[in-house]
Amino acid sequence: MKNEWILDVLADLEAFARQNGLPALARQLGDTRLLAVLELTPDGNHDADGGEQRARIGTGADSQGLGKRV
Protein backbone atom coordinates (compact mmCIF):
# COMPACT_ATOMS: atom_id res chain seq x y z
CA MET A 1 0.00 0.00 0.00
CA LYS A 2 1.94 3.02 -1.25
CA ASN A 3 -0.42 5.60 0.28
CA GLU A 4 -0.23 4.11 3.76
CA TRP A 5 0.99 7.44 5.18
CA ILE A 6 -2.57 8.79 5.15
CA LEU A 7 -3.53 6.18 7.76
CA ASP A 8 -0.83 7.54 10.08
CA VAL A 9 -2.08 11.10 9.56
CA LEU A 10 -5.66 10.08 10.35
CA ALA A 11 -4.50 8.20 13.46
CA ASP A 12 -2.58 11.28 14.64
CA LEU A 13 -5.62 13.50 14.08
CA GLU A 14 -7.83 11.03 15.95
CA ALA A 15 -5.39 10.99 18.90
CA PHE A 16 -5.30 14.81 18.92
CA ALA A 17 -9.10 14.97 18.97
CA ARG A 18 -9.32 12.52 21.88
CA GLN A 19 -6.63 14.35 23.88
CA ASN A 20 -8.37 17.68 23.36
CA GLY A 21 -11.89 16.73 24.35
CA LEU A 22 -13.35 16.28 20.87
CA PRO A 23 -14.93 12.82 21.14
CA ALA A 24 -17.32 13.13 18.19
CA LEU A 25 -14.49 14.21 15.91
CA ALA A 26 -12.31 11.38 17.23
CA ARG A 27 -15.04 8.84 16.42
CA GLN A 28 -15.50 10.29 12.95
CA LEU A 29 -11.77 10.18 12.28
CA GLY A 30 -11.67 6.55 13.43
CA ASP A 31 -14.44 5.73 10.97
CA THR A 32 -12.65 7.71 8.26
CA ARG A 33 -9.49 5.71 8.90
CA LEU A 34 -11.44 2.45 8.43
CA LEU A 35 -12.88 3.74 5.17
CA ALA A 36 -9.38 4.71 4.01
CA VAL A 37 -8.17 1.17 4.68
CA LEU A 38 -11.01 -0.20 2.56
CA GLU A 39 -10.33 2.16 -0.31
CA LEU A 40 -6.57 1.67 -0.23
CA THR A 41 -6.86 -2.12 -0.34
CA PRO A 42 -5.90 -3.29 -3.85
CA ASP A 43 -8.80 -5.76 -4.06
CA GLY A 44 -11.17 -3.29 -2.39
CA ASN A 45 -13.84 -3.85 -5.05
CA HIS A 46 -15.01 -0.23 -5.34
CA ASP A 47 -15.65 2.35 -8.01
CA ALA A 48 -13.68 5.58 -8.40
CA ASP A 49 -15.66 7.54 -5.80
CA GLY A 50 -15.96 4.68 -3.30
CA GLY A 51 -19.65 4.09 -3.92
CA GLU A 52 -19.41 0.38 -3.21
CA GLN A 53 -17.91 0.94 0.24
CA ARG A 54 -20.41 3.68 1.01
CA ALA A 55 -23.25 1.28 0.27
CA ARG A 56 -21.68 -1.50 2.32
CA ILE A 57 -20.80 0.38 5.49
CA GLY A 58 -23.47 3.07 5.50
CA THR A 59 -21.39 6.18 4.91
CA GLY A 60 -22.28 9.24 2.92
CA ALA A 61 -24.10 12.51 3.23
CA ASP A 62 -27.40 10.98 4.29
CA SER A 63 -25.94 8.52 6.80
CA GLN A 64 -26.56 9.37 10.44
CA GLY A 65 -23.89 7.09 11.84
CA LEU A 66 -20.95 5.14 10.59
CA GLY A 67 -20.68 1.50 11.46
CA LYS A 68 -24.42 0.95 11.58
CA ARG A 69 -25.87 -1.95 9.69
CA VAL A 70 -27.57 -1.09 6.44
Give me the residue spans of the domains in the chain: 5-57
Secondary structure (3-state) at 17:
helix
Residue 43 has pLDDT above 70, yes or no: yes
| pTM greater than 0.85 | no
Q: How many CB atoms lie within 10 A of CB 15?
A: 12
Count CA within 13 A, CB hemisphere, residue 11: 6
The predicted structure's pLDDT at residue 12 = 98
Residue 60 has pLDDT above 50, yes or no: no
Residue 63 has pLDDT above 90, yes or no: no
Higher pLDDT, 23 or 44: 23
